[in-house]
Structure 1
Amino acid sequence: MSNEFSGKTALISGGAGGIGFALAEEFGQLGMKIVIADIDKQQLAEAEQKLQDANIQVLACPLDVTSYQQWQDTVTAAENKFGDIHMLINNAGVGGIPGSVDTTKIETWRWVLDVNVMGVVNGTQATAPSMKRHGQGGWIINVASMAGMNGVAYSGAYAASKAAVVSMSESWAAELKKHNIAVSALCPAFVKTRIHESLRNLQPEYQAVKDQGGPKIASEKRVNSAEALVESGIPPSLLAKRVVEALRSGQRYIFTHPNFRSPIAYRSAKIDTAFADAENSPLVGHLKDDEIVML
């Protein structure tokens, strides 16, 4: 059956497993040509074979998302194989290591931000010119998290990185609208993936991250708790179908867990209360009727 995705090409980082692979399967079944890129070469080869066995046109590319050059090489390989790129899914990410503000190592912050933030920047900067050039429009899906909509105690680096992904998505949505490129932030809660095992693909330059430091017993409890929450999550295949559903209804934010509506509404209410406080302020209240100038 013909649909808006059939015959087009999707490039998916972190596409060898978890959310990325589920999206590869789902969009492949909808007739898209799939480029999966991943740092785990063995899992990448296995994922490629699975997609081929499902009669999905696929190209597999090794990719460390922190390298802009590798992103450029992946885009070139995708264009050489399939032509125009119509969809980019910035999925690759790491969960970091749970820790308090005073025990989380600077190396951990660098690792999480380099992968989760700069990986998305690299992917979009490398792919957007191609998507603009063919003029057919398309989709950019940046995988954030519910943690990007509300801070999470003992996960400051991860939450900050995902908040950045949400903000970048909002910025790029406005910027790329004229090119008919829809940008969405995918903000799931818990999904059954291996994100709690992010250290398995730790790049050599971030090896110091393994020695997180801090109270060992408390840290282990938080790690075990995170693993349990992930294991209780929804299957990636369900998330993938939800993404398709949300794209078809034009959602800028793609939510998978409506039970989180209340805590996010609470945050929104606190923000509104803070604006009311500013309006009542003798210092800045006079600015409430000023024209809003957007750059």
Structure 2
Amino acid sequence: NAGMKVMIGDIEKGALDAAVAELKLKGHEAEGVVVDVADRDSVFAAADATIKAFGKVHVLCNNAGIGVSGKSEKCSLENWQWVMDVNLWGVIYGLQAFVPLIESHGEGGHVMSTASMAGMVSFRYMGPYNATKFAVVTIMETMMEEHREDNLGVSVLCPGVVATNIASGTRNRQGRYGGPREARDLEANTEMLGKGLDPDIVGEQVLEAILDDQPYIFTDPSMRKFIDKRFQRLSAGYDWADNCKALKKDKRAS
């Protein structure tokens, strides 16, 4: 509704076609491309398709993500690899494929990557997911510093619970990671996500943040307390270091 031409990338062709058709039905100019964000060549091919369709890129939204649950040390290496490749490498490939296209025309633009509140606070039984989302946050923070003086805006989205179908993401699990499988605790997770924030509201918030050049995008102000508690624990770590016997042997401390 902001007047932009939209290229949607998705690994699931049926969902992709439906989304593009919905936008076109509303009178918007939109196209779609099937893309596996865990595959570098697929992402770069999507970038080429975008240029072929629209000629330029001004805004990139890295939004694909999946998750698994379980204790970190018991999570299979296959699960770790899958989550890392989609959530982390997918973002890296997206940045490398699309940011040069934004910079090439000199008209400015914006890059937004979806992390999570799990990129700010570590939640139990979500080790692979937490690790990737913390990584996405720091990559985007690094880019904020690297592009502070130019006309490329950078934002990171850290949503709370949003009503999406991420809980059933294993239906699109690629063959090299063991193929599709039934998600654990699907019913409970689907019920929880169903009570989450409307994705359309999140989309409107992201648009507002891009227009305001807002670096951090939080969807649930009530979760601020988790960040406050984390920094209290970090501060307590420094309090302990102040009285650490080993550090008192450091002659530089004087």
What is the TM-score when the length of structure 1 is the normalising length? 0.79
Distance 1:127 1:137 in 2: 13
Question: Partner of 1:92 in structure 2?
Answer: 64
Q: Which residue of 2 aligns with 1:52?
A: 24
Displacement of 1:278 in angstroms is 3.0
* Pair 1:278–1:182, CA change in 2 (3 A): farther
Please state how far the C-alpha of 1:76 moved relative to its aligned partner: 1.4
Q: Which runs of 5+ in 2 are unaligned?
A: none
Name 2:128's counterpart in structure 1: 157
Q: Take 1:102 and 1:139, find their aligned partners in 2: how far apart are those partners?
A: 37
Aligned mates of 2:115, 2:193 — CA distance in 1: 15
2:155 counterpart residue number: 184
* 1:140 paired to 2:111: yes
Answer with 143-152 or 172-181: which moved more: 172-181
C-alpha distance in structure 2 between counterparts of 1:229 and 1:168, whole Å: 29
Measure how far apart 1:180 and its partner are: 1.6
Task: Tell me which residue corresponds to 1:198.
Answer: 169
* Contact 1:79 1:85 (C-alpha < 8 Å) held by counterparts: yes
Question: Which one-letter code corresponds to 1:196 in the other structure?
Answer: A
**SS of aligned partner of 1:36:** strand
Q: Which runs of 5+ in 1 are unaligned?
A: 1-28, 213-218, 290-295
214, 222, 228: which one pairs with 1:265? 228
Aligned partner of residue 37 in structure 2, secondary structure: coil
Partner of 2:100: 129
How far residue 282 of structure 1 moved from its aligned partner, in angstroms, is 5.9
Q: Distance in 2 between matches of 1:226 and 1:48?
A: 27
**CA–CA distance in 1 between the matches of 2:151 and 2:212?**
15
Q: 1:195 to 1:41 in 2, by over 3 A?
A: same
Q: How many angstroms does 1:273 deviate by?
A: 2.5
Structure 1 contact 107–208 (Cα < 8 Å) conserved: no
Give the equivalent residue in structure 1 for 2:34. 62
The percent of aligned pairs where both chains have the same amino acid is 34
C-alpha RMSD of the superposition: 2.2
Instruction: Report the TM-score when normalising by structure 2.
Output: 0.91
Paired residues, number: 252
